[in-house]
Amino acid sequence: MTVDLPDELARRVAAEAARRGVSPEQVAVEAIAAQLSREGQRAGEGDQAARQRFPFIGMGDSGPGGGDIGRRHDEILREHFADKTARDV
């Protein structure tokens, strides 16, 4: 397999290889393997990974004993605003 890297990235890989005394290919292989390993771990985390990426999911959950807000939203709004005037809102 041949991979063409952007010039700046190729320079960074070459510099890292020189610093460590290994080939640029070795640096590239290790970097790709590490990235794929992280992605595999994230994919295996399931719901936890989704919660970390999308913290807003579930924030509208009415929780235990909270009833079904989705079906009762009109009723809940009427109760809340029943004694308020337009000036209060």
What digits encode the pLDDT tens for the residues 8-60? Answer: 999 999 999 999 999 999 999 999 998 888 877 766 655 555 555 655 555 55
More confident residue, 28 or 72: 28
Q: Is the pLDDT of residue 73 over 90?
A: no
Q: Would you place residue 80 in the very low, low, confident or very high pLDDT band (cuts 50, 70, 90)?
A: confident
Q: Is the pLDDT of residue 89 over 90?
A: no
User: CA 25 to CA 44: how far, in whole Å?
Assistant: 28
- Domain spans in the chain, listed from the N-terminal domain onward: 7-60
